[in-house]
Structure 1
Amino acid sequence: MRSIEPIAKLDLAFSLFCLQHKFSYPLSRVSRAISHTGDGHLYAFFGLAASGFGGGNGQQFLLVGLMAFAIELPIYWGVKNLFKRRRPHDCSELVTSFITPSDRYSLPSGHTAAAFLMATLMSYWYVDLTIFAFAWASLIASARILLGVHFLTDVILGAALGVGCAKLAMLLAGGI
Structure 2
Amino acid sequence: MNKIQQWDLQVCRVCLLHPYNRSQARISRLISRTGDGPLYAVLAALLWWQGEVEREAVLMALLAFALELPLYLLLKNALRRQRPVGLPVFITPSDRYSLPSGHTAAAFLMATVLAASFPLWAPLLFTWAILVGASRLLLGVHYLSDLVAGALLGSGCALWALNWSQA
Q: Secondary structure at the match of 1:148?
A: coil
Whether 1:118 and 2:110 are equivalent positions in the alignment is yes
- In the TM superposition, what is the alpha-carbon distance from 1:111 to its structure 2 partner? 0.0
Partner of 1:13: 10
Shift of 1:22: 1.0
User: Which residue number corresponds to residue 41 of structure 1?
Assistant: 38
By how many angstroms is 1:42 displaced?
2.2
Paired with 2:38 and 2:157, the residues of 1 have a C-alpha distance of: 19
SS in 1 for 2:11: helix
Give yes or no for the alignment of 1:81 onto 2:77.
yes
In structure 2, how many angstroms separate the alpha carbons of the residues matched to 1:65 and 1:82? Answer: 25
Q: 1:26 and 1:59 mapped to 2: Cα distance?
A: 39
Tell me how far 1:126 sits from its aligned partner.
Answer: 1.1
Confirm or deny that 1:68 pairs with 2:60: no
For the residues of structure 2 that align with 1:151 and 1:12, how far apart are their CA atoms? 7
1:75 & 1:45 partners in 2: Cα distance?
Answer: 24
Gaps of 5+ in 2: none
Aligned-pair CA distance for 1:127: 1.4
What aligned pairs does 1:11-160 form with structure 2 within 5 A after superposition? 11-53=8-50, 55-89=51-85, 93=86, 95-160=87-152
Name the CA distance, whole Å, in 1 between partners of 2:13 and 2:84.
9
What's the CA shift string for 1:29-65, capped at 9, x where partnerless? Answer: 0000000110112211222211111x21111111111
- Identity fraction in percent: 46
CA–CA separation in structure 2 for the residues paired with 1:148 and 1:9: 16
In 1, Cα distance between equivalents of 2:36 and 2:43: 13
Structure 1 residue runs of 5 or longer lacking an equivalent are none
Give, as a single letter, the amino acid of the residue that structure 2 aligns with 1:60: E
Q: CA deviation at 1:23?
A: 1.2
| 1:10 maps to amino acid | W
Q: Secondary structure at the match of 1:102?
A: coil
Q: What is the CA deviation profile of residues 68-88 of structure 1, one whole-angstrom value per residue up to 9, with x for unaligned ones?
A: 001000000000001100001
Structure 1 vs Structure 2 CA RMSD: 1.0
Counterparts of 1:47 and 1:127 in 2: how far apart (Å)?
18
Would you say how many aligned residue pairs link Structure 1 and Structure 2?
Answer: 167
Q: Amino acid of the residue matched to residue 153 of structure 1?
A: S
Q: CA deviation at 1:128?
A: 1.8
